[in-house]
Amino acid sequence: MGRRPAPPKLSEAFLNRQRDEYYWPLEAYNSKSIYLLGASKEGEIPDEMASFEILQAIATLYSEHGFTNEAIMEHHPIQQWREEGVMIPVPVLNMLVNAWAKYLEGPSGMTMGEAFNLEGHGQGKKPKRERLQNILRERQLARAAIAAYLGAGASDAGGISKSEAHAIVAERFNVSEDTVKRAHKKWEAHEMERLRVAGAFSENEDDDLGA
């Protein structure tokens, strides 16, 4: 049997941040908001729903983790937000303001859920909400699997296989290994691209992600 391909090498600066648990919630926010913006742009979820989720994530960083405005702004997914935002990014706030105006100026009988594009025509808001929560859960599992796989490759003890990473994450989150494997396969390319854009990998590294 041939030697197992090594995962991409993480940069030392990124590794130092990952070793510091302080940055973990900020990285999670960055990953989540990048997905939400992409899904909104592709029409997979309403802009307003993405905005509510991003606002909720920002509020959690502020109230539960105690991050400063400056720390949160540094981890906004796009440069424009870092320049124009204070605590709430201006584009997200505008989405909510426009939806509120739509509700106030809409025809009689329009509900707030319809104005905010969270429900309508008998569909109800619960199915959309549940689908989004399932996706965010999948991405959480995928991020954890990628972190375990890449992190082990950067350790002195040597790397592990993806299957071993799946087992670690499955035990941590109390789910099946198949559940982690499916989530990893579905979202790996998206998360790896986010890490590349964030400068997580050393330059001139092979993109082979292993087996």
Q: What is the pLDDT of residues 28-65, one digit of tens each?
A: 999 999 999 999 999 998 888 888 888 888 888 887 88
What average pLDDT does range 78-103 have in this prediction? Answer: 78
pLDDT of 104 above 90: no
Return the pLDDT at 200.
Answer: 80
Query: 53 phi and psi, to 5 degrees?
Result: -65, -40
Percent of the chain at pLDDT above 70?
80
Sign of the C-alpha dihedral, residues 137, 66, 77, 46? positive
Lowest mean pLDDT among 12-26, 122-136, 186-200: 122-136
Q: What is the spatial distance between Cα 122 and Cα 53, in angstroms, rounded to a whole number?
A: 23
Dihedral of alpha carbons 15, 18, 21, 27, sign: positive
Residue 201's DSSP bridge partners are 10
pLDDT band, very low/low/confident/very high, at 8 (cuts 50, 70, 90): confident
Displacement of CA 191 from its chain's centroid (Å): 8
- How many Å apart are CA 136 and CA 35, to the nearest integer? 9
Tell me the per-residue pLDDT of 58-77, one tens digit each, with 9 for 90 and over.
888 887 888 888 888 889 98
